[in-house]
Structures are given as structure tokens and as C-alpha cells.
A and B are shown apart, each in its own frame.
Chain A
């Protein structure tokens, strides 16, 4: 049953997948609670522009993705202050800009090829050693940052004005959090692909919200749900020869449906 671990590419796929399954819902819980669920999609489109730019300029594509998504992340934060009554407007503006830029850069690079497709839909089994080092490095930065600033991110998600009133450096922390979100997107792109990256940040959190007993518990359960999705998704893609990114995301959706159904049965009883 576990002969798939004899292959180097499957070992790397699992390593990358499990790391992503931890950091996506970790950042995702704060993102969802701040009602910024669309931020993942926006930053992943910015990453696509970065990848196209990387291909055009001969740069390693993930560096291009990181640079562009960081610029987009800071852009969202700046615009959010300008349009403080419409938090989601800043996200839509940056989303439009990113798609426009991505399309122009792809056409300039004339690079709508298999390599670009692998970033669009994920290519976890094509993850190479350099990808693993980048994913591991960024994951450590994200984990340590959330460990250090958990309290601050919690307070800002619950009540940003209250956190500011209590004397927290909210503006700086907001920028830092958005940078972490951008890193999470870049890390996840290789695994589930740009088109599905935000689903791993949002769907396990949605499952967890249905049954959690505290904020910490919400994070814990969403990480568990994401881990289950990645493991089942990867196994089924290997055995049934399915696209791994899509299998992972669909598994998370099945889990959500199952949790909803179980909850309904319990309520009926």
C-alpha cells in the first residue's frame, strides 16, 4: 500500500503537501475571521503575474511570484486604509490589476505552456529539491511569526479598533500579516496551483467553524482537516491517476459536506 513512498517525487510531494496543510489553514483562520476570504485569490493572481514576469526575465518563477504577491499584499493594505469603509474594494482593485498584468506578461512572454499550466493547477509531483527548500524556509518563517504574534493577530481579527485602542502597533502588524499571507500563497501554489490556492486557506476553516469550541480549537481543527485532505488527495491521485491539486481540494469539499451532514443528523436527534 505504501510503495508510493519509494519514489523520490512522492516523498517530496508529501513533504510539500503536509507543510502547506499546516500553514494554509493557520493563516486562513485569521483571514476568514477578518472577512477577507477573497485575499487568497487576489494574491494568487498577483503571483501568476510574478511567474509570467519571472519566465519573461529568466528569473526562477517562485521568486517572481513572491515579489509580485508581496507588492500586491502591501498594495491591498494601503488601499484598505484609503477605502476604510469598503474593505473588500481594495481586494477587487488589486485583483483586477493582477489579472490584467498577468495576461499582458503572459502574452509578452509568449509562455502559455506546460510550465505555466503547472503553476495554474499545481504540480505537486513535479516539486523539485529547490522548491522544497523554498517551501520549507517560507513555512518556518510563517510558523514562527504566527507563534510570536498569535495574540496580536487574534486581537486584530476580533476587534481591530480595540487592538489599536489597547496600544498595539496595528498598522505595522497588518502589513506584516498580509506579507505572511502572500508567502503562504506562494508556498501553496506548487501544491494545489494558483487557481485553487485560496481553497486550502478557506475550506478547512469553514469545516472547523462548524464544530470548534474556541479560537485555538478552530485553528487546530482546520489544520487537521487540511492534513486529512492532503493525505487522502495525494493517495487517491496516485491510485486513481487524478490531478493531485484538484483531488486535494475536492477532498476538502467532501469533508465539509460530511461535517455539515453529521451536524445535521446530531441536531435532528
Chain B
């Protein structure tokens, strides 16, 4: 078993009286390609936001790289790819290069300057996602799939150990989705970057991830299974494949 990147223990979180997460414990292991699934409102995004330190659980502990999340300060190790469609103002006049550079800013430090070495990192990240030639384009004028590649480059530029993704394929076409998963696979296998993906679309990830966390009615169920067996286990647990997201029961 690899090192634990994130460990949550006995966390609970609720909005008002509704308990979204009820005494949940789990961990993200170095090298994982982890899918977090569950029906709408099951707490997937809440769990993701707790992992990222954007919200605090009302009970329980969160440790990131073996450090209490309150004291953790190396956020460059953690990348995040938001849901494309809602993540930014499409009229924002920034170039691809300006957007990707932004994730280096916390590393450069307050009042620090971007130097040549940083610019090379930006080029390298854009080359990895195949968007180097669009470096000077305004981000809002790119297609959905291209914008998503830019956001992957933005996450990659700070050399993260783990990348979190929130419904990353919403609003992009099938071809772009396919190449997105190809890129993710190579980042995971060749660069050893741990990936955590929240999605409602079990069908899209069952062949790709190596572990699945499934949220349902505040509880977390873990399917620690090899890729090839994932679909069989789901078939057994949830019945017909097309209706997984709806008939999801444990």
C-alpha cells in the first residue's frame, strides 16, 4: 500500500438539519485513480470541498500529506480542475498563458515576480496538454474541450502530486471526453499523479478508475477493485447498467 495523500476520519457535515456526510472515514492513496460517485445531493462535492480545505467538517479530522489540514501550506502539491461550464466568466480577457501562469503565483509568493524558469514551466504544461500553439489566445474564445485542456495545464503547472476534478467532462463533446481520459490515464500511469474525480456518470469511469468511493444517504461505500472487475461488481450491486445513477442502493 502506498503513502496516504489525504486521510479523513469520522467526518460529518450537514447543511441545516440535513446530514450530508455521516461519520465518514477514508483515504486517498498515492497513485490512485479514484472515482467518487453517487446520486445528486449525495455529498460528493461536499466531500471534495472538505478534501480541498474549502469547507471544514463539523466533526472529524482531515490530514493532508500527514499534516493537519489547518497547518498544511503546500497547496501547490494539490491541483484542481473545476467544472468547465460554471468555472469562469467567458468574457474575461485573459490569454491561455495568463490563466496557466496564475497557478504559479502562490509559489512565486506575494509581491514576487514571474521569471523565465516559470515561463518555461507554463510552456511545458501547455505542451503536455497539446495547447502550446494557443498560448496567446483569449481563453473565452476556445472550444469547451480546449478550455478544459487549459485548466488541466493550469493544474499541472505547479507540479501537483494529486489532482481533484469536479465533473470534469460536463459540457464537452464525446471526442474531447475520450482524449481527456487518455490524457488523465497517462498522467496517472507515466507521471504517477494521483487523480480524484467526482462524477455522477458511473458508466464513464468504471473502466478507467482503480478505486471507487460511493456516497449514498450520508454513508460512504468503498469498492476497492481492479479496473476490469469494476463493472461486474457494479452490475451485481446496482442491477442494470443504464440505471446505476438512479437506482443506486447499498
**Residues in chain A within 8 A of chain B (CB atoms):** 33, 35, 148-149, 151-152, 154-155, 157-159, 161-169, 209, 212-218
Contacts and interface: CB of A to CB of B under 8 A. Distances in A.
A158 B138 contact: no
B82 interface: yes
Most buried by A among B73, B76, B102: B102
Interface in B86-136: 87-89, 91-95, 97-99, 102-103, 105-106, 108, 110-112, 114, 136
A152 B94 contact: no
Contact of A35 (B89, B97, B111, B138): B89
27 contacts: A151-B102, A151-B108, A152-B105, A154-B94, A154-B102, A154-B105, A155-B102, A158-B92, A159-B82, A161-B82, A162-B82, A163-B102, A165-B53, A165-B54, A165-B75, A165-B78, A166-B76, A166-B102, A166-B105, A166-B158, A167-B75, A168-B105, A169-B110, A213-B93, A214-B97, A214-B136, A216-B98
A215 B98 contact: yes
B47 to A, nearest CB: 15
B33 interface: no
A163 B80 CA distance: 11
Contact of B93 (A155, A167, A168, A215): A215
Contact of B91 (A163, A209, A214): A209
B138 A159 contact: no
B106 A166 contact: yes
A209 B93 contact: yes
Contacts of B97: 214
Contacts of B99: 158
A105 to B, nearest CB: 38
Given A167-B75, A214-B93, A162 B102 contact: yes
B105 A155 contact: yes
B29 interface: no
A216 B138 CA distance: 12
The number of chain B residues touching the other chain, given as a range, is 20 to 34
Given A33-B92, A214-B95, A215-B95, A167 B138 contact: no
A183 to B, nearest CB: 19
Given A149-B110, A215-B98, A158 B88 contact: yes
Contacts of B92: 33, 157-158, 215
Nearest to B96: A214
B111 A149 contact: yes
Given A209-B91, A214-B98, A166 B75 contact: yes
A167 B114 CA distance: 17
B159 interface: no
Contacts of A217: 93
Contact of B106 (A35, A157, A167, A209): A167
A213 B102 contact: no
B114 A151 contact: yes
A148 B75 contact: no
Most buried by A among B93, B95, B136: B93
Contacts of A154: 94, 98, 102, 105
B93 A164 contact: no
Contacts of A151: 102, 105, 108, 112, 114
Contacts of B76: 166-167
Given A33-B89, A158-B92, A215-B93, A148 B111 contact: yes
A217 B75 CA distance: 30
B69 interface: no
Contacts of B87: 159, 162
Nearest to B88: A159
Contacts of A33: 89, 92-93
B52 interface: yes
Nearest to A216: B98
Contacts of B78: 165
B138 A214 contact: yes
The 8 closest A-B pairs by CB, nearest first: A167-B75, A151-B105, A148-B111, A214-B95, A166-B106, A215-B94, A155-B102, A167-B106
Given A166-B75, A209-B93, 8 more contacts: A152-B105, A158-B102, A159-B88, A166-B105, A167-B73, A167-B106, A214-B93, A218-B93
A142 B245 CA distance: 53
A213 B158 CA distance: 25
B138 A213 contact: yes
